[in-house]
Structure 1
Amino acid sequence: MKADLIIAHAYVMTMEGKGVGMIENGAVAVKGDTILDVGTTEEILAGYQADRVIEAKGKLVMPGFIDAHIHSGISIYRGMAQDMSHWMQKGLWPFKKNTTQEESLAGSLVTIIEGIKAGTTTFCDYDYGMNRIVQHYAKVGARARVAETVNELPNDIGKNPVGELYPFDRGLGEQRLQDNIRLFEEWHGQENGRITVLFGPQGPDMMSTELLLEVKALAEKYDTRIHMHVAQGDREINQMIKRYGKRSIPYLDELGYLDSRLMAVHLTEATVEEAQLVARRGASMIYCAGSIGIIDGLVPPVMDFLEAGGQAALGSDQAPGNNCNNMFNEMKFAAILNKVKRSDPRVFPAWLSLRLATIESAKAIGLAHEIGSLKKGKKADLLLINLQDPSLSPVYTDPIRNIVPNLVYSAKGSEVETVLVDGKIIMEDRKLLTVDEKEAIRQAQEAAVQISRRSRDDIVAAHSDVYQMMEDGYL
């Protein structure tokens, strides 16, 4: 049988079964956008011929990573909001009010490039201006599950004193919801199905009950999912208690929000009982270990959620206070932080981190029928990783195979050599084939210079901890 591409003589990690599904001398055949077959090299070469055969001895073939929660539109502020209290109010909002949409777009493209170069093939992107950001995914060739951020917060929300109840602007909320509807109607299913659209209410504290219910009805009408922050911090819980006299999760449960459509992001402030409730109701949890560790100093109850039978995934979140959008970083943080939290080195093993960045993530975002594992009939979204890189060498296969722990605890992302999405090579030998990486970085740097010039007074007025560190000579 004829294939377009065969990758042979590789370690193939299928992510099928209960673990990682390793085939030590494996091969993958690809035709069009689809995996034609997976098996041993002997089986695949005996059954298929291809226009191109990649000799992959000393390399690993695995599914592309899924970043289940990312805000690419704020990545232009990379590294501006860590090591501080009230990272959003004091670190993010002063910059955001001084940023044009073009500048935000410039930062978005750079972080998408960063993700691809570290092996991310699917991005669940959730931000303002998504009707324009989504064009980056179309051009780059990545898979994306996108949502417009919907809230009722006024544009000058940064002036609101920390701790005071947010004012709501119903007109702005409706406008942002209409942007999300337009995104769905124009982009859902585009680019051979690579682009799919969700609804993106920012959080239960940032919009009225009426708008939340309207979003829920629309998700049911369009038969899609809801991507939303839930119990993401003490700021949110404080707002909910003041406004409704209830915490976020009981409030959402009363609205019927906790079901299989909901992708609940963070659960940072959820109690064990609340996390278990979300799991029982069938909503998925997106765990952003690096981001929440840095901006909140906390480890969300992901283990309690998993132990209650919940479906979880990993996400990188945002570059202002996580500083990178790299799933190797998230896998390592997720494993280590939960070992420390439980005081048990056996907790959150490396194979679990890998599953939560691939097949379990695909289940959590509703795409397991297409991606997340290497299986006949699924989309050909896969990576070639150089196991001869110093960070992954030497390779042991007996009596213990060390490839999985080294991927999670040692790899940085630069070991990813080649990336395929929808059967098309979009990066080969570390070179992106669809966009000009250097030009994208140049444009983002120009945007950053302009943003910093306009934002200085607002940063000073916000009493940014990081700005004070600068003034004190620490940075």
Structure 2
Amino acid sequence: MLQADRMWTGAHVLTMEPGEDIIKNGAVAVKDNRIVAVGTSTELAKTVQAVETIDAGGKLIMPGLIDAHIHSSYAVIRGVAQDMDHWMQKGIWPWMKYMSVEDRLAGSRMNLIEGIRAGTTTFADYDREMDSLLDQNASLGVRIHAAEMINELPDDVGDLPVTELYPLDREAGERRLKAGTDLYDKWHGAENGRITVLLGPQGPDMMSLDLLQRTKAEAEKRGVRMHMHVCQGDRELYQLEKRYKKRSIAFLDEQGLLNEQLTAAHLTEANDEETAYAASKGVNMIHCPGSIGIIDGIVPPVQAFLKAGGKAAIGTDQAPGNNSSNMFQEIKAAAVLNKVKAGDPKVFPARQALHMATLGAAEVHGLDREIGSLRTGKKADFIVVNLATPALTPALTNPVDTITPNLVYAASGEEVEDVIVDGRYVMRERKLVHADEAEAVNRAQQRAERLAQKVTF
């Protein structure tokens, strides 16, 4: 008999493994931080002996959601950068130049709690002061795929007119590159492997070519990918065309940066030809439809990217403009907006959208050997969802599957009852195990109020 610490039985089990249907009356067994068996409850009752057996009747067990692109600390200024043009320059930068480490910590803690409560188990957090954020957030028990944002922008860049060429501060760039490599050396593989680190140049427009190439070299030396904004707005194209007389995709290709090492967020302003070319070069894409829809009024070309054979994931991006770090909302936005863009209800089906927030996201970040689906030997990262709610009823698997589309088009995140990461509860029966939600919200509110007193427009 296989030995397990816990076994969940009687559930619908959505493994997200390719070609697998939902297992009715399914079970998942966990030993330490690994899945030791997945199958029907009848099968596992014969082969697994568990210390604790949990009745999950009326529930769904599925892989935890992976937020493939989030700036967690920005939640302290949630709601300041929508319904406007030039959202970054006019919305965010007037606040950013006054943000302290304490402000960032407060925003990040609250943002990760928000994500956990809606079923996110892995956060690809791409932010400033990441060492301090990890010092604080490692105790939450979630998985964090972290990158320090590396750029050469001066702190007062928001004071510049929108169309002026960014001045680049070499000394600031050196500090930030060192912060990124130090982060890897300190944190990569920490917390029993829950914390992993990659390199994060903020964008090709926000740094010199020299710093971009040296960041790439540091990533190659460590065998990790680069997480970078690419074609993230007309401002990026303006900067590159003025500085190098090239658009982003052509510039990155010329510099040998357009390959499988690059995980590109957004591709907002890429045309279909550029998008297909990036996919053909092995670039991975992160699609943040709710954020880009609100701040730019654009549906990024993810369908063209996928059609060209590329791999893509879904992320929430940033709370100042997206307002939400709820992955269920983002999954729905991806499916609905791409249907509308294509004028075709068959485009972007529910299973595809869910794949891009689970196994597909793990593939994009190079984590799919460990997480993203429920399979024997993988890390025990999953969520338990209550199907006995008005939004998710009826739960049918025959003659059609209603569970998957209802998750994508109807779930709010409040249906998530339990969150398990690395075999341990992070949330149980809607109660956070390692955090005080009320304290985190109050702290973020207080920091935001202090910050608001400094901001001028």
Within the alignment, does 1:149 sit opposite 2:142 as a pair? no
CA distance in structure 2 between the aligned counterparts of 1:194 and 1:405, rounded to whole angstroms? 30
Shift, 1:397, TM fit: 2.7
Contact 1:184–1:197 at 8 Å: present in 2 too? Answer: yes
Structure 1 position 185 matched with structure 2 position 185: yes
Distance 1:398 1:435 in 2: 40
Give the corresponding residue for 2:92.
92
Counterpart residue number, 1:405: 405
| Residue aligning to 1:385 | 385
Corresponding position: 1:287 with 2:287: yes
Runs of 4+ residues deviating >4 angstroms: none
- CA distance in 1 between counterparts of 2:222 and 2:158 reads 33
Q: Distance in 1 between matches of 2:409 and 2:237?
A: 34
Match of 1:364 in 2: 364
> Is this contact kept in 2: 1:76–1:103, CA < 8 A?
yes
Provide the residue aligned with 1:82 in structure 2: 82
SS of alignment partner, residue 454 of structure 1? coil
| Structure-1 residue corresponding to 2:434 | 434
Give matches, 1:33-432, under 5 Å. 33-432=33-432
8 Å CA contact retained: 1:9, 1:56: yes
Cα distance in 2 between the residues matched to 1:305 and 1:99: 36
Work out whether residues 64 and 122 of structure 1, in 8 Å CA contact, stay in contact via their aligned partners in 2.
yes
User: Could you tell me how far apart the structure 2 residues matched to 1:363 and 1:396 are?
Assistant: 29
Q: Deviations over 1:225-280 (max 9, x none)?
A: 10000000111101111110000011001111111111100000001111111111
Q: How many residues align?
A: 456
* One-letter identity of the residue aligned with 1:102: E
- Contact preservation (8 Å) 2:22, 2:397: no
Q: CA deviation at 1:54?
A: 1.0
Question: Does residue 5 of the first structure (1) align with residue 6 of the second (2)?
Answer: yes
Equivalent-residue separation in structure 2 for 1:386 and 1:150 (angstroms) = 41
Return the letter of the residue paired with 1:158.
G
C-alpha change, 1:21 and 1:398, in structure 2 (3 Å) is closer
Separation in 1, partners of 2:98, 2:317: 21
- SS of structure 2 residue aligned to 1:439: helix
Q: Which runs of 5 or more structure 2 residues have no equivalent in the other structure?
A: none
- Cα distance between partner residues in 2 of 1:387 and 1:355: 19
Q: Distance in 1 between matches of 2:117 and 2:165?
A: 41
**How big is each residue's C-alpha offset from its partner over 1:369-418, in whole Å with a ceiling of 9 and x where there is no partner?**
00000000000000000000221112223221200110000000000000
Q: CA deviation at 1:25?
A: 1.3
CA–CA separation in structure 1 for the residues paired with 2:21 and 2:281: 30
CA shift digits 1:321-373 (9 cap, x unpaired): 00011110111000010100010000000010000000011000000000000
Deviations 1:267-306 (A, max 9, x none): 0000111111111111100000100000000011100000
Distance 1:304 1:429 in 2: 41
Determine if contact 1:137/1:143 at 8 Å carries over to the other structure: no
In structure 1, what is the Cα distance between the partners aligned to 2:242 and 2:274? Answer: 19
Cα contact 1:369–1:378 (8 A) shared by 2: yes
- CA shift at 1:441, angstroms? 1.0
CA deviation map 1:450-475 (0-9, x unaligned): 011111xx2xx3xxxxxxxxxxxxxx
Select between 376-385 and 386-395 the one with higher mean Cα deviation: 386-395
Is the deviation greater in 120-129 or in 394-403?
A: 394-403
Local SS of the residue matching 2:369 = coil
Describe the SS at the equivalent of 2:161.
coil
- Structure 1: distance between partners of 2:79 and 2:155: 23
The alpha-carbon deviation at position 45 of structure 1 amounts to 1.3
Give me the whole-angstrom Cα distance separating, in 2, the residues matched to 1:172 and 1:124. 24
Deviating more after overlay: 445-454 vs 29-38: 445-454
Looking at structure 1, the residues matched to 139 and 388 of structure 2 have their Cα atoms a distance apart, in angstroms, of: 31
RMSD: 0.8
3-state secondary structure, aligned to 2:414: coil
**Which whole-Å CA distance do the structure 2 matches of 1:397 and 1:222 have between them?**
45
Following TM superposition, by how much is the alpha carbon of 1:135 offset from its aligned partner in structure 2, in angstroms? 2.2
Instruction: List gaps (5 residues or longer) in structure 1.
Output: 462-475
TM-score calculated relative to the size of structure 2: 0.99
Three-state SS of the structure 2 residue aligned to 1:46 is helix
Q: TM-score of the superposition, structure 1-length normalised? A: 0.95
- Written as runs of structure 1 = structure 2, the 5 A alignment for 1:461-472 is 461=457
Q: CA separation in 1, counterparts of 2:180 and 2:103?
A: 21
Amino acid at match of 2:5: D
Task: Give the Cα separation in 2 of the matches to 1:198 and 1:414.
Answer: 31
The equivalent residue for 1:471 is none
- The residue identity in structure 2 corresponding to 1:196 is T
Quote the Cα distance in structure 1 between the aligned partners of 2:47 and 2:376: 14
Q: Secondary structure at the match of 1:7?
A: strand
